[in-house]
Structure 1
Amino acid sequence: MRDYRYLAELSDDPDGGVVVSFPDVPEAITSGPDRRQALASAADALGLALRGYLAEHREMPRRTAEGVTMVTPHADDVLKLALIESLRRQSVTPDRFRDLSGLKDWEVAALFDPDAVNGVADLENALALLGQRIRIAVEAA
């Protein structure tokens, strides 16, 4: 099971507001006028940074720190990250995935592109073809 939660560090911005950064994902940094809005922006920033790792064919950062303020990217980002990691781990090419799925070339290209927007059901179905299933949990924020 892969967990995409990362520790967020919050600090006061000298110009006002709150800054959020991630020790394990230094590319992800954002801010907001208050803690709540900064943390809402943090999910976006973390998802964008992690998709950037995939776009650059870099290893996903290992989570080395845990604490009270753990942030997870939005669900569609988590599914995209999981799909692309599974495709790469299993060495599935676009042609092979097209044959497995029966999808059109442009649909396969969108699934392989970290920045392309896909529906949650499409991502879930693609993961299932790779022998993966999602598990959703809701917890107190």
Structure 2
Amino acid sequence: MRDYRYLAELTDDPDGGVVVSFPDVPEAITSGADRHQALASAADALGLALRGYLAEDRDMPARAAEGTVMVSPHADDVLKLALIESLRRQSVTPDRFQDMSGLKDWEVAALFDPDAVNEVAALENALALLGQRIRIGVEAA
């Protein structure tokens, strides 16, 4: 099972507010007026940075650090990351995926595009075609 949680470091901004950074994903940095807002922004920043790795055809950063404040991207970002990683790992081309799925060209293109917005059900169905299933859990924040 792939886990997309990364350690978030929170520091007080001398100008006010809280800054969030990720030691394993240096491209992800954000802030908020307080801890709660900073952590809410952190999920967005992390998802954007990780989708950037895929857009640049880079491997996902390894999670080396763990601690008390672990942040995940939003669920739709996690599914998109998992889908694109599975497509690449299995060397599935857009043409092959279209044959497998029966989807239209534009639907396949959106699934392969790290920045395209897809419905959660579409991502879940695409993952299923690749032999993957999602598991959702909820834990204390």
TM-score, normalization: structure 1?
1.00
Counterpart of 2:136 in structure 1: which amino acid? I
1:107-141, CA deviations, whole angstroms, 9 ceiling, x for partnerless residues?
Answer: 00000000000000000000000000000000000
What amino acid does structure 1 have at the position aligned with 2:3?
A: D
**Could you say which residue in structure 2 is the equivalent of 1:64?**
64
Q: Which residue pairs with 2:105 in the alignment?
A: 105
Alignment gaps of 5+ in structure 2: none
Who is 1:19 aligned against?
A: 19
Equivalence for 1:116: 116
2:119 is aligned with 1:84: no
The runs of 5 or more residues in structure 1 that have no matched partner are none
> In 2, Cα distance between the equivalents of 1:14 and 1:28?
20
SS at match of 1:92: coil
Sequence identity of aligned pairs in percent?
Answer: 89
Counterpart CA distance in 2 for 1:84 and 1:58 is 11
Q: What RMSD over aligned residues (CA atoms) do the two structures have, in Å?
A: 0.2
Tell me the secondary structure at the aligned position of residue 46 of structure 2. Answer: helix
Per-residue CA distance 1:51-108 (angstroms, 9 max, x = gap): 0000000010000000000000000000000000000000000000000000000000
How far the C-alpha of 1:14 sits from its partner, in A, is 1.1
Structure 1 ranges of 4+ moved more than 2 A: none
